[in-house]
Structure 1
C-alpha cells in the first residue's frame, strides 16, 4: 500500500470518478463510515517561526563558565516542546 491508508472520502471519490463511476462524495463518506473505514491523518511537520525574532541578549560569559565561587555565574535555557499537539 503505497498511500499508507491515507485515502479519505475525497480521494476515494476522485479515484472512482477517474474510473468512470458517477458517485457523490457524501455517498462515499457514508459507505466508508458504515464499513468502518477511516483514513490516517498525517502528523503535521514542525515549522519553525519565520517572522521577526527579537534581539538576543549580550553574551556576557563569552563561554567562560568557570567561577571562583558560588553564585557568580548563572545561565538558563528556554526550550519549548510540542506535547500531544498542544
Structure 2
C-alpha cells in the first residue's frame, strides 16, 4: 500500500483523513483488553472505538462500522484511513470493508 499520508498529520478538512490503531491495555487480572480506535486527524477527535477481550478481525470490522455510523453516510470522496499496515489492516476483508462502505 502506498503511504498517501506521508506523516503529514496536520489536515484541515474534518472527516477526510483518519488514523487507526489497536492499543493493548493491561487490566488488574493481568490480562489485556484491546482498544481499537479511529481518530479524525483534523479535529483530533476519537470518532469510533471498540473495546474487546480478544484480537479477532471482528474488532477492526466493528470499529469501521462505528466510523460509518458516525459519518452517517457522509463520507468524504477522498477519505483516507491511515494505519500501521499490520496484519489487521492489510487483511483482505478489512481492505474490502474500507474500500466499499
TM-score (norm 2): 0.24
Q: TM-score, normalised by structure 1?
A: 0.27
Q: Give 1 or 2 for the bigger CA radius of gyration.
A: 1
More strand by share: 2
